[in-house]
Amino acid sequence: MSEAAVEVRPLTVHTPEEIEKVKNWINTEEYKEKNFAREALVVNPAHACQPLGALMVATAFEGSLPFVHGSQGCASYFRSTFSRHYREPSAATCDAMTEDGAVFGGQANLFEAFENAYTLYKPKMMPVFTTCMPEVIGDDLTSFIRNAKQKELVPEDLPTPYANTPSFNGTHIHGYDAMLNSILKYLTEGRRIEDKCTGKLNIIPGFDGNVGNLREYKRICELMGIPYTMLADTSEVFDSGCTGTYNLYSGGTDIEEAAESINGKATISLQKYATASTMKMISSNYAGVSEVMPMPFGVKKTDEFILRLAELFGHEVPDELKAERARAVDAMTDAHQYIHGKKFAVYGDPDYVLGIISFLLEMGAHPWYVVVSRATKKIKKEIDALLESSMYGKGCTCYINKDLWHLRSLIMTDPVDGMIGDTHGKWAARDAGIPLFRVGFPMMDRVNLHRIPVVGYNGAINLLTMIVNKFLDIRDETDENQWFEMMR
């Protein structure tokens, strides 16, 4: 067939003038109004779907093989998103439901895939979660898994916690929460022993694509001499070294330690909104104190985190951490002049967004627009209260249930100096001609940012360095004065 034969003729042809006119129109107040009146359509939301969050947890335990009950395409999307963010393989298996599964139910698919996955990969645990299709047709996972075990397709004692993760209801943080709740309930069942205390802290990082953050939490605990179990630890799963040998089950929380977590001294979650149901379960079932704390972005929140650890475990704050704090305060003071008064658009998961706002307010910057694309009024109330707590939050606005196309309208009509969020904001940032500081998940178009912590005192320095140096780069590249910040 010749090339001419396959030429696609567009149904509608627009003149260059028309294209230019619309290009300019979408930057106007008039268009913004129409954009904000939009109800039925979501364009570029700042969130992913529930099962993607479930996969993060399902992979975060030792020897655990995530099992996706549903469509192969969905599983490929989750895995490729993790692979592109971490630049690591993301192992998961799927029972690849197709049209017949949608009509007759997915039990036959699950049976075959259970048997194959166990035989081939010998996991220590196989957490199961769903995509939209089995949720729409109402597949009954409880019976499917029980039947698979009765048929001896997998051993009876293989842990197979499961979570329903319909994407038409909630986001990746809800899938994370549902899967974590299910795994912990499954592993700890019957393990609570009255008066037994492991003396350990259970620390739950939440849906955090930054393995540097997880390592920072662990380092802080180690410096304070606090024994800990990180529940759902992805740090070695998604950031193992290159040794020349592929290890399917690298890292993850030890399953026995996770089971014993029910007898811990205290449990702290650092993401309130990504662990709501898990923490409810923990506060009813677990021994010891259970608490939710904000992600320790900036100095104040890090102080609160460290002081609470010191209080709970009766340990002094070590000199090393005190010195780190002093360095962070010094770095913030040194860089203050370059960020003070600048306006930012911030978007992403509620727990991350709250942390970034705290940091910006500490630096005297304005989180001018805050967008959380799937949120409740409770989340908005908390964000508004945080903005109101500082003079730098004056005039700033939080938008919930709005997407990044809404945010584009905002920054095109009332500009800001920079955006902070994941990779998906890059088009809005390009159109507005402002820098995008990549923080959150996913970050697919930069290397190693997922290894550099943004929490704790060191995280505050890292965040500050990334933001301020970019502003200095821009100034340096554009300022007529080539001696900027130098002496003749």
Using the 8-state DSSP alphabet, how is residue 163 labeled? E
Give min distance, CB of 74 to ligand SF4, in A.
Answer: 3
Measure the CA–CA gap between 371 and 55, rounded to whole angstroms. 25
Among residues 232, 356, 369, 238, the alpha carbon closest in space to that of 294 is found at 356
Region binding ligand SF4 by CB under 6 A among candidate stretches 71-79, 238-246, 317-325, 403-411: 71-79
Contact call for residue 74 and ligand SF4 (CB under 6 A): yes
How far, in Å, CA of 279 to CA of 267, rounded?
A: 9
Q: How far is the CB of 386 from ligand SF4 (least distance, A)?
A: 30
Nearest residue (CB) to ligand SF4, 167 versus 358:
167
What is the number of the residue whose Cβ is closest to ligand SF4? Answer: 74
**Residue 317 bears catalytic tag:** no
Annotated active-site residue 132? The verdict is yes
| Adjacent-strand bridge partners of 370 | 346, 398
Least distance to ligand SF4 from the beta carbon of 374, Å?
12
Among 31, 42, 77, 219, contact with ligand SF4 (rule: CB under 6 A):
77
In angstroms, give the least distance from the CB of 167 to ligand SF4. Answer: 3
202 belongs to the binding site for ligand SF4 (CB under 6 A): no
Minimal distance, residue 71 CB to ligand SF4, in Å: 6
The DSSP H or E segment spanning 64 is: none
46 versus 49: smaller Cβ distance to ligand SF4: 49
- For 68-96, b/e burial (b = at least 16 CB within 10 A) is bbbbeebbebbbebbeebbebebbbbbbb
Per CB under 6 A, does 206 bind ligand SF4?
A: no
For ligand SF4, the closer of residues 182 and 458 by Cβ is 182
In whole angstroms, what is the distance from residue 128 CA to residue 126 CA? 6
Site for ligand SF4 in 112-171 (CB under 6 A): 131-132, 167
Where does this chain touch ligand SF4 (CB under 6 A) — which range of 24-32, 70-78, 142-150, 186-194? Answer: 70-78
Give the residue with the Cβ less far from ligand SF4, 77 or 111.
77
- Give the shortest CB-58-to-ligand SF4 separation in angstroms: 14
Task: Determine the interface stretch with ligand SF4 among 69-77, 103-111, 184-192, 264-272 (rule: CB under 6 A).
Answer: 69-77
Pairing of strands 397-400, 418-421: unpaired
Q: Which is nearer to ligand SF4, 132 or 180 (CB)?
A: 132
CA distances from 480 to 144, 207, 235, 419, 483 (A): 69, 44, 45, 25, 9
Which of 46, 49, 220, 292 touches ligand SF4 (CB under 6 A)?
49
The Cα–Cα gap between 235 and 214 comes to: 6
- The active-site residue, picked from 49, 132, 292, 353, is 132
Helix pair 172-188, 276-285: axis angle to 10 deg: 20
Closest C-alpha among 416, 413, 463 to residue 297: 463
Q: Residue 252: phi, psi to the nearest 5?
A: 100, 155
Q: How does DSSP assign 304-315, residue by residue?
A: HHHHHHHHHHT-
Furthest-apart CA atoms within the chain: distance in Å: 82
Give the one residue of 32, 47, 51, 328 binding ligand SF4; rule: CB under 6 A: 51
**Alpha carbons 342 and 366: distance in angstroms, whole number:** 6
Return residues touching ligand SF4 (CB under 6 A): 49, 51, 71, 74, 77, 131-132, 167
* Catalytically annotated residues: 132, 136
